[in-house]
Amino acid sequence: MRNYDFNNKWQALLTPEIVSLLSKIHEYKGEQNLFIEAKSDSLTQLVEIAKIQSTEASNKIEGIYTSDDRIKKLVTNKAIPKSRHEQEIAGYRDVLATIHESHDYIPVKPAIILQLHRDLYKFSGKSIGGTYKNSDNVIAETDENGNRFVRFQPVPAWETAESINNLCEAFDDALNRNEVDPLLLIPMFILDFLCIHPFNDGNGRMSRLLTLLLLYRAGYIVGKYISIEKVIENSKETYYEALQSSSLDWHEEKNDYSHFVQYTLGVILSAYREFSTRVQTLTMSNMSKPDRIREIIKETLGQITKTELMAKCPDISQVTVQRTLNDLLKNGEIIKLSGGRYTSYIWNGDK
């Protein structure tokens, strides 16, 4: 059975690239804390948007879908799940809410992981919720010719309970020594969790929920305001590549965590940068709403959609956003790039 001791493994991760990412995240964390203390009331709408995006994105990665309207109604508890997909979406919503509200009181222990997994499936009626896998599973891929092949063989079912127990103990031990940055330990823990693959279903979604929980407990709460799951969904090919690279030779304890650690830190940094951008938008509250929209488009490198504008300005109605876009187009200050529902706009630098 694998040895899950992290204490002799994290030093190898202190590469210039990873140390640079850590430093930048630490800086953003300091800014985050100052702003949250001063403007907590202004962030309520960001929290609600992030909940919707997180629930939608994490499920979409696993091929679980419903319409945009249904997602919003399910996450805001204004609808009852009607399909198997919606039942799983509602389960994710509730586990996410538990983590948001009670993370300080949720230690990462085997019993807690089982409870969270149970709640993930509480609307589906599936008996797999809250129990470890009862048969060996594999992580497989299908190529463009339809050929299915095994990418990774997780630990066998009979080893699962002990493996998760050892993993949690190793994480606690490394954390309690106060020698290593939690930002290094968290992706190491998540990689090992995914390599164990403890459940018949829901391993990917559980890994993202546990990532949030561990980040919150370490004081990195950016995921409450900016959807980390959405950042992962937008870069899921890179996510799978990093996961595959870091899982090579895992059973032999010769795997290289750095690929997955660097990817995860990049995701966290991206979320902090987006949070900083949203904060700057909120500090423009003394501007008129049309001027705020104009300024956001002007400061955006490349194109931006109406949906993205509304996400950045949750206090501005869709009618006001559309009216402002029409006025800016009429004045020639922006250029419209047609694309159906993905129509976007770009600042006219020649104006």
Is it the case that residue 115 has pLDDT exceeding 80? yes
pLDDT, residue 310, reads 85
Which amino acid appears at position 278 of this protein?
Answer: R
Same structural domain, 301 and 273: no
CATH of the domain at 329: 1.10.10.10
* pLDDT score, position 158: 97
Amino acid 283: pLDDT: 65
**Percent of the chain having pLDDT more than 90?**
70
**261, 281, 301 - which closes a domain:** 281
CA proximity to 4, closest of 209, 200, 172, 203: 172
pLDDT tier for residue 285 given thresholds of 50, 70 and 90: low
pLDDT attached to residue 292: 86
Amino acid identity at 86: E
Once rounded to an integer, what is the mean pLDDT over residues 303-326?
A: 88
pLDDT of the residue at 42: 67
185 shares a domain with 214: yes
Residue 1 within any structural domain of the chain: no
Overall domain count for the chain: 2
For residue 75, pLDDT over 80 is answered with yes
Tell me, yes or no, whether 31 lies in a domain.
yes
Instruction: Mark whether 115 and 210 lie in a shared domain.
Output: yes
Asked whether residue 313 falls in the same domain as residue 231, the answer is no
Residue 90 domain-assigned (yes or no): yes
Identify the domain boundary among 259, 281, 303. Answer: 281
pLDDT band at residue 44, thresholds of 50, 70 and 90?
Answer: confident
Out of 243, 264, 281, pick the residue that ends a domain.
281
pLDDT at 40: 65
158 and 236 inside one domain: yes
Report yes or no: 199 and 128 within 8 Å, Cβ to Cβ. yes
Question: Does pLDDT of 351 surpass 60?
Answer: no
Check residue 217 and give its pLDDT: 97
Task: Establish if 57 belongs to a structural domain.
Answer: yes
* CATH code for the domain of 233: 1.10.3290.10
Residue 287 confidence (pLDDT): 80
Query: Looking at residue 43, what is its pLDDT?
Result: 79
User: Quick check: 174 and 7 in contact, CB under 8 A?
Assistant: yes
The mean pLDDT value for 115-133 works out to 93
Element (H, E) at 337: strand 334-337
Q: Tell me the one-letter amino acid at 320.
A: T
Same domain, 137 and 258: yes
Q: Residue 80 pLDDT > 70, yes or no?
A: yes
φ/ψ of 67, rounded to 5, equals -75, 160
* 143 in a structural domain: yes
For 165-213, what is each residue's pLDDT tens digit?
999 999 999 999 999 999 999 999 999 999 999 999 999 999 999 999 9
pLDDT mean over 260-267: 98
Tell me the Cα Rg of the chain. Answer: 22
Measured CA to CA, the distance from residue 328 to residue 140 in angstroms comes to: 50
Segment 307-329 shows an average pLDDT of: 88
CB of 333 within 8 A of CB of 351? yes
- Specify the pLDDT at position 123: 94
CA atoms 72, 75, 81, 87: torsion sign: positive
Do both 148 and 294 map to the same domain?
Answer: no
Examine residue 98 and state whether it is found in any structural domain, yes or no: yes
Are 210 and 252 in the same domain?
A: yes
**What's the burial of 143, exposed, middle or buried (CB within 10 Å: 0-12/13-18/19+)?**
exposed
Query: Do residue 28 and residue 122 come from a single domain?
Result: yes
Same domain, 216 and 111: yes
2 in a structural domain: no
Residues 214 and 323 in one domain: no
| 209 closest CA partner among 236, 237, 228, 182 | 228
105-119, 129-143, 217-231: segment of lowest average pLDDT: 129-143
Please indicate, yes or no, whether residues 26 and 76 belong to a single structural domain of this protein: yes
Residue 148's pLDDT is 77
Residue 315 lies in a domain: yes
Residue 328: which domain range?
A: 288-347
Among 13-17, 25-29, 211-215, 302-306, the least confident range: 302-306
Instruction: Look at residue 143 and tell me whether its pLDDT is greater than 80.
Output: no
